[in-house]
Amino acid sequence: MKKINKTTSMLSKIITSCVLISVMFTIQAQNLTATEGYIRESIPGTTVSSAYMTLTNTSEKSVTLVGASSKISARIEIHEHSMSNGMMSMRQVESIVIGSKETAILQPSGLHLMIFDIKEPLKHGDLITLTLHFSSQPNVEIQLPVQSIKRKQHHH
Residue numbers at the binding site for Cu ion (CB under 5 A): 79, 90, 114
Q: How far is the CB of 108 from Cu ion (least distance, A)?
A: 10
Name the closest residue to Cu ion (Cβ).
79
Q: How far is the CB of 49 from Cu ion (least distance, A)?
A: 10
- Phi, psi values for residue 55, rounded to 5°: -105, 125
Name which of 12 and 82 has its Cβ closer to Cu ion.
Answer: 82
Nearest to 129 by CA among 115, 141, 113, 117: 141
Strand 27-29 with 96-98, pairing: unpaired
Measured CA to CA in angstroms, residue 134 lies from 120, 124, 149 at distances of 27, 28, 29
Q: How far is the CB of 147 from Cu ion (least distance, A)?
A: 17
Name which of 15 and 90 has its Cβ closer to Cu ion.
Answer: 90
108 touches 148 (CB < 8 A): no
Interatomic CA distance for residues 11 and 36, integer angstroms: 26
Name which of 40 and 79 has its Cβ closer to Cu ion.
Answer: 79
Name which of 24 and 43 has its Cβ closer to Cu ion.
Answer: 43
Residue 37 has a CB neighbour count (10 Å cut-off) of 23
Q: How far is the CB of 105 from Cu ion (least distance, A)?
A: 15
